[in-house]
Structures are given as C-alpha cells and as structure tokens.
Chain A
Amino acid sequence: QVQLQESGPGLVKPSETLSLTCSVSGYSISSGLYWGWIRQPPGKGLEWIGSVYRSGSTYYNPSLKSRVIVSLDTSRNQFSLKLTSVTAADMAVYYCASGIVIPTSRFDYWGQGILVTVSS
C-alpha cells in the first residue's frame, strides 16, 4: 500500500522559500506515477501546485510556475517542493499526492497534510 508523509517547517517568513519533503513507502517512486503537491488555504478549496514524473519531467500550475520547483530524490524514495518568495497568500495545508495525474487529474494517494504558516 502506497503511503505518503509530508515533513518540513511549519513556519516560514515572508519573502523566504518554503521547502517540504514527502517520504514515500510501499512503492518506488522511480517505478511510475506522478508525484506532486496540492495545497488548501484554511477554509478554502484545493489548488494543484505541480507534479513530477518518474523521468524527472515536471508539470506546474501556470499561476505558480515562476516560483515552484518539484523534484525527485529516488535514492531516498522522496520528493520535494520548493516555493520561493512566499507571502501570506501561500499559507495553507500542503498535501503531497500521487497518481496518474497527467492527463487524468487522478490523485489516488495522499499524505495527511502539513500546515505551513507564513509570518515574520
């Protein structure tokens, strides 16, 4: 069974870079599927941030593309998110998720989520 677990700082200062890691168990990320991130501001809906395929090819939400990097670490069976120049608008629960995302928008597996607060 595929299991995902987010980790990283729960507090980031404005203008700094948000960095999160998702550890995967039960499946080798180099075997297939898309691995990525979705966020949910408090009390609001879901927003796809971006995903990376096992080949390393990346796919990003156009509205965030200039600030986002999603990458794989196959040696650790992890993948990560970097979001630069954060503002209060980036405060959200960040979920790592995987599935056959492109093109089906199918996210089968989800982490429990991690709340990231943006504040000085």
Chain B
Amino acid sequence: QSALTQPPSASGSPGQSITISCTGTSSDVGGYNYVSWFQQHPGKAPKLMIYEVSKRPSGVPDRFSGSKSGNTASLTVSGLQAEDEGDYYCSSYAGSNNVVFGGGTKLTVV
C-alpha cells in the first residue's frame, strides 16, 4: 500500500487561509467518505481535527474545515493563528479493513 500524498510544507501569515491537500486513489480517498485529519505539535501525540471528510470533533475550532473532490481531500485553516503551526496528517480508509496515512505537511505561520 502507498501512503497518501501531501505537500511537505505549507505556510501562511496570521489571519490568512491555507489549504493542505491529500491525494490518494479511487481505492482509498476517492472510494470512501472516510478521511480524517490530525494536527501534531513537536513532541506531542497527534490530535483529531476532522473526521469523515468534513466533520469536526467537539472542541475543534470552526476555523478548521475539510472537503473532498475525487481522489483528493483538503484541509482548510482559516484565520491562521500562531498556535496552528505544526504537522498535519491525513488518513483514509483503504478498503479491506485497512487504514493509510499521508506523509504529513509541515505548516508554518510566518
């Protein structure tokens, strides 16, 4: 199985919006509405930010939103804040009871 493809890095200024992509295939991202996004700060465990493409767990700011088109899912962070800096990972169900992660994107707030 191949990891989902994410850009290695992304950056934006405070207050701006940034979108991170997660590209898979019709066997994973494109085949199911089961994409999750995780935020990870250095030395910390990942935190669930989005599940089932666009749903937010309780406590996650509505500045974070998710979407999907074809084989590509996207995470958009609006009104960037310094605390949003970190690594972001997508995951997807890949069929046959299998889960695959993306390679991660380092978000910098400049």
Contact = CB atoms under 8 A, between A and B. Distances in A.
Contacts, number: 72
Contacts of B34: 103-106
For chain A, which range describes its interface: under 10, 10 to 19, 20 to 34, or 35 or more residues? 20 to 34
A46 B89 contact: yes
A102 B96 CA distance: 10
Contact of A107 (B1, B3, B46): B46
Interface residues of B, number: 28
Contacts of B46: 46, 95, 107, 110
A30 B81 CA distance: 40
A51 to B, nearest CB: 8
A108 B98 contact: no
Interface of A: 38, 45-48, 51, 59, 61-63, 95, 99, 101-108, 110-113
Interface of B: 1, 3, 32, 34-36, 38, 44-48, 51-52, 57, 89, 91-93, 96-104
